[in-house]
Amino acid sequence: MQRRDFLSFTGLGLAGLALPYGRAIAAEALLEPADLARRRRLADTALNAAREGGADYCDVRIGRYLRQSVVTREAQVRNIVNGESAGVGIRVLSQGAWGFAATDASTPDAVAAATRQALAIARANARIQTRKVELAPVAGVGETRWATPLRKNAMAVPIKEKVELLLGVNAAALKAGADYVNSTLFVINEQKYFASSDGSYIDQDIHRIWLPLTATAVDKASGKFRTRDGLSAPMGMGYEYLDADPAGKVALPGGLTGYGRSYDVMEDAVAAAKHARAKLKAPSVKSGKYDLVLDPSNLFLTIHENVGHPLELDRVLGYEANYAGTSFATLDKREQGYRYGSERVNFVADKTRPGSLGAVGYDDEGVKTREWDLIRDGILVDYQATRDEAHLLGHKQSHGCSYADSWSSVQFQRMANVSLKPGKQPLSVAEMIKGVERGLYVHGRGSYSIDQQRYNAQFGGQLFYEIRNGQVAGMVEDAAYQIRTPEFWNACVAVCDERDFRLGGSFFDGKGQPSQVSAVSHGSSTTRFNGVNIINTARAL
Amino acid sequence: MSIFTEAEAKAILDKVLALSKADECTATLTGSIAGNIRFALNNVSTSGIVSNSNLAVQSAFGNRVGTASINEFDDAALERVVRRAEDLARLAPENPEFMPAIDKQSYKPSPTFSASTAAITPEFRAQVAADSIAPCREGKLTAAGFLEDGQSFVAVANSKGNFGYQQATNFDYTCTVRTDDGRGSGWVGRNLKDASEFKADNEVRIAMRKATESAEAKALEPGKYTVILEPAAAAGLISFMMNFFDARQADEGRSFLSKKGGGNKLGEQVYDPRVNISADPWDPRAPVLPWDAQGLAREKMSVVENGKVAALDYSRFWAKKQGKRAVGTPGNLLMAGGDKSTAELIKGTQKGILVTRTWYIRMVDPQTVLLTGLTRDGTFYIENGVIKHPVKNFRFNESPVIMLNNIEELGRPVRVAGDESSFVMMIPPMKLRDFTFTSLSDAV
């Protein structure tokens, strides 16, 4: 997550007026339905203007992006932001080059003018283009709809209820020993109307939710402070994710809890406070080689960084070379049957898993979403592609990986959900730990950094417990694992079975220029890696 | 139309204030036209123009506050947004940290607008791409780059009589050049006020040279090295650290600027005495708006003076609570240095490593601001004042606090933009001893 995206979302760093406090009736305003007939007319205005201007292809996204955040610390609400952004983005293909223009004026005249502007840009670019854009075919689907399956629309839950929940959580953490606590609720609703010259008019209603928290413990005498973040995952769900359903969690060794399709924020806040206090006294880790047992709440981010990103085809080809970088997983490796990991390593990509952040009916190019294999029995077999990339893989259809974070952003290749398949043999977490002589059991996302080709990575965590002779021993501090991607996945010796499968996710994944965010989930069961390098991160100033 | 003149903006804001029935009303009107072009594999990949405008109105009854925004500006729309903000304020819970609207400020205009940058056309952008790509094609190299430019305005007003209006432009170019075999990579970045100073075909040569010269990289053992960080490489670490100059965090004991036993390190020697960091919205090299996100007037101020912490960032609430004067949060970061260029620093170095750029910087431990990240796009070994050979990229684990206590020499500051920072910066190249590289990266 990028700091500036967080600041922008929460209104804490707005370049204009800082939004200090929001509204109790906002949820109602956020529930106003969009007018389908009006959007269809606007879309046709753009499609007609593009056709009249000689475009070979055109797509129009009429978007209404609603974001709500409730930001608290201790007994105070720092900010409530109800953001609405609406407008029209038009992309045209002309003479083999793309042009894009967007306008916040949702009138036929403005949309027609923006379409002509997009055409002019495409033609200016076509003059220096040596390789023409080639689109994988998509059959128009006519008028259709898709919506995130919800039990309780979070936008419809009164602000008062959300404030009470967060302030209650904060009070519980303070009572349990935290000196400070921050908690935030993010709710997103993307209302996207997509139309294209292929003959599709797709109306989608997409919902996401996240409740991150941080408990801080301070020892003023020594000047030491420690934090423990919450262990929830952002989800493509409604408010039902916060219903603390006991069936949605699992009890884990060391007295820890794993959260699946339901999050008990109160319970986790109390645990976070206690853990933050315990971290003040935990011994510093001894650096060296350890066997790692990684909980899905930690492993998801490693998967994101060193499997999800390197298998994005635009990176592999060099389209992201100037910013996010390229990839070590070059196309020739797929041809050669490159061994990415051990035979226990199977990765699947999807945009369909219920409850995941990436789940949609159609992507932002009107492609119906699906699931496909990326790594099979440790061998690299495929990438993630959009319409203008699919032919480079010899595919006749796109994977449906196109996404734009706003009506004002041009769509491009973004990561699908990328998940490690559970082990085929029955294996519980307790059984996995029983077989470890000297190891570390890691929970939660911590610091993360990886190079521009996705070889060298360093990850922290929220909780590191030593494993000695098959038992979870005490907590240790100042640990991070430093890895090289292929060695790491080849050191994977065991994956717990599907009973332990849980999703983690990245709510603000940054990519592209101008930078755009997307949200994506990564599932796994607890997984063991042998002989991983652990560094000690303690320093003295 | 997204860019309003001062008179047009004032007319809209005056209407908003006249419509207000709240105890206090603050309004901000913004507009922008942003253009960009992106190229990769020696071809244009995406290019676009986005125009946007917004009016945000904040109303307060006592310490209850409501905010609403709109992007239509006729009389009915203005009435609607004001009433909506007021309705929300009446329903809002009391805010114990509420601060009244700011008093009338005196904003001295800063030179943030460039006519040549505002006049950029799609053809200009296409030409920048063409001028970056052509020499690379000729040299059997591959260019990927990005130009983002724009013009914008911000107008602020409140019921205490405050008003400000200013236009600004922005221009930022970056280009990565790679050898066709993927073994060499070089980078150049230019953040400018005035687009007429920019020549893509000159700038791209820097990235081309670094790409070619970095192709035969040798592996050095990780460890502590004397490094020369080019301004872009240093900017990532220093701007990251500056995000943690918050006074409240320090007073609460959860910052590297917290003092053992309580309190903060304001006035204390934290860095080498040669470290001087200041902010000045009127600095002609890196001007920014003369007010911050709250509308508070910015001032010319020292942030670090001779290595001592000279200013922490006090929110208006925390300043009042601590008996301090709140000033506008800095928008630029001006680090002083010497007269030498990077090339001259290299000349005076017996053994060391030159770092073009740092990448993916993240906090490892907030207690010590220990940051990790990697070198990228041109890392070279220096011996006896000359670059001997390229070296493989490193991962570092280093604290900017430790780094700024290990200064050998500072060079001449240049204007840079950070990958993940909103500061407009002047940062010198810096020669530092004992910089900690913890592992090697195979990435090019």
Query: Testing the interface with A: which of B1, B17, B51, B269 to mutate, by most A Cβ within 10 A?
Result: B51
DSSP state of A254: G
Instruction: Out of A8-22, A72-86, A358-372, B46-60, pick the least confident.
Output: A8-22
B48 touches chain A (CB under 8 A): yes
Give the residue-averaged pLDDT of B270-291. Answer: 98
Q: What is the per-residue pLDDT for A34?
A: 67
pLDDT over 70 percentage in chain B = 100
pLDDT over 70 percentage in chain A = 94
Among chain B residues, the shortest Cα distance to A6 is held by B420
Assess whether pLDDT exceeds 70 at residue A10: no
pLDDT 10s digits, A318-365: 999 999 999 999 999 999 999 999 999 999 999 999 999 999 999 999
A355 touches chain B (CB under 8 A): no
A227 touches chain B (CB under 8 A): yes
pLDDT over 90 percentage in chain B = 89
Q: What is the per-residue pLDDT for B90?
A: 86
**Touching A: B residues 175-234, CB under 8 Å:** 175-176, 178, 182, 185, 187
Q: What is the per-residue pLDDT for B64?
A: 87
Assess whether pLDDT exceeds 50 at residue A368: yes
B394-398 and A224-229 as β-strands: parallel, antiparallel, unpaired?
A: unpaired
Report the distance separating Cα A150 and Cα A236, nearest Å: 9
Phi and psi at residue A381, to the nearest 5°: -125, -20
Q: What is the per-residue pLDDT for A85?
A: 82
B223-229 and B351-365 as β-strands: parallel, antiparallel, unpaired?
A: parallel
pLDDT 10s digits, B123-154: 999 999 999 999 999 999 999 999 999 999 99
**Phi-psi category of residue B16: left, alpha or beta, with phi > 0 → left and psi -120 to 50 → alpha:** alpha
A33 touches chain B (CB under 8 A): no
Which residue is listed with tokens 């967080």?
A6
B269 touches chain A (CB under 8 A): no
Tokens read off for A241? 């994710």
Query: Testing the interface with B: which of A12, A21, A388 to mutate, by most B Cβ within 10 A?
Result: A21
pLDDT 10s digits, B184-205: 999 999 999 999 999 999 999 9
Q: What is the per-residue pLDDT for B51?
A: 83
Q: Hey, are the CB atoms on A130 and B42 less than 8 Å from each other?
A: yes
Q: Hey, are the CB atoms on A225 and B254 less than 8 Å from each other?
A: yes
Amino acid present at B267: G
Amino acid present at B281: P
Shortest Cα–Cα distance, B46 to chain A (Å):
6
Report the distance separating Cα A420 and Cα B399, nearest Å: 35
Instruction: Confirm if B288 and B71 have CB atoms less than 8 A apart.
Output: no
Q: What is the per-residue pLDDT for A21?
A: 27
Instruction: Confirm if B155 and B29 have CB atoms less than 8 A apart.
Output: yes
By the 10 Å C-beta count (0-12 exposed, 13-18 middle, 19+ buried), A108 is classed as middle
Assess whether pLDDT exceeds 80 at residue B91: no
Q: Hey, are the CB atoms on A23 and B443 less than 8 Å from each other?
A: no
pLDDT 10s digits, B25-61: 999 999 999 999 999 999 998 888 888 888 999 999 9
Q: Hey, are the CB atoms on A412 and B360 less than 8 Å from each other?
A: no
Q: Which residues contact A37 (CB under 8 A, 6 or more apart)?
A: none
Assess whether pLDDT exceeds 90 at residue B161: yes
List, as one string, the DSSP characters of A383-394.
-B--TTTGGGGT
Assess whether pLDDT exceeds 60 at residue B285: yes
* pLDDT grade for A33, boundaries at 50, 70 and 90: low
Neighbouring-strand partners of residue A85: A65
Shortest Cα–Cα distance, B413 to chain A (Å):
24
pLDDT 10s digits, A279-323: 999 999 999 999 999 999 999 999 999 999 999 999 999 999 999
Q: What is the per-residue pLDDT for A18?
A: 35
Assess whether pLDDT exceeds 80 at residue B441: yes
Report the distance separating Cα B271 and Cα B404, nearest Å: 6
Q: What is the per-residue pLDDT for A1?
A: 35
Residues of B in contact with A456 (CB under 8 A): 374, 393, 395, 439-443
Instruction: Confirm if A518 and A509 have CB atoms less than 8 A apart.
Output: yes
By the 10 Å C-beta count (0-12 exposed, 13-18 middle, 19+ buried), A470 is classed as middle
Q: Hey, are the CB atoms on B368 and A541 less than 8 Å from each other?
A: yes
pLDDT 10s digits, B253-269: 999 999 999 999 999 99
Q: What is the per-residue pLDDT for A5?
A: 46
pLDDT 10s digits, A430-462: 999 999 999 999 999 999 999 999 999 999 999
Report the distance separating Cα A21 and Cα A169, nearest Å: 20
Instruction: Confirm if B363 and A539 have CB atoms less than 8 A apart.
Output: no
Q: What is the per-residue pLDDT for B93?
A: 78
Residues of A in contact with B361 (CB under 8 A): 449
**Touching B: A residues 65-84, CB under 8 Å:** 75-78, 80, 83-84
Q: Which residues contact B262 (CB under 8 A, 6 or more apart)?
A: A220, B253
Task: Name the residue among B51, B397, B442 with its Cβ closest to that of A455.
Answer: B442
Q: What is the per-residue pLDDT for B111?
A: 97
Neighbours of B325 (CB within 10 A): 8
Report the distance separating Cα A314 and Cα A327, nearest Å: 9
Assess whether pLDDT exceeds 60 at residue A28: no
B443 touches chain A (CB under 8 A): yes
Tokens read off for B150? 């724009």
pLDDT 10s digits, A196-222: 999 999 999 999 999 999 999 999 889
Q: What is the per-residue pLDDT for B419?
A: 79
Residues of A in contact with B366 (CB under 8 A): 225, 227
Tokens read off for A210? 């996240």
Average pLDDT of chain A, as a whole number: 92
Q: Of A43, A84, A77, nearest to A60 (Cα)?
A: A43
pLDDT 10s digits, B201-235: 999 999 999 999 999 999 999 999 999 999 999 99
Report the distance separating Cα A517 and Cα A305, nearest Å: 15
pLDDT 10s digits, B413-432: 999 998 788 899 999 999 99
- Percent helix / strand / coil, chain A, rounded to 5: 25, 35, 40
Assess whether pLDDT exceeds 80 at residue A188: yes
Q: Hey, are the CB atoms on B364 and A480 less than 8 Å from each other?
A: yes
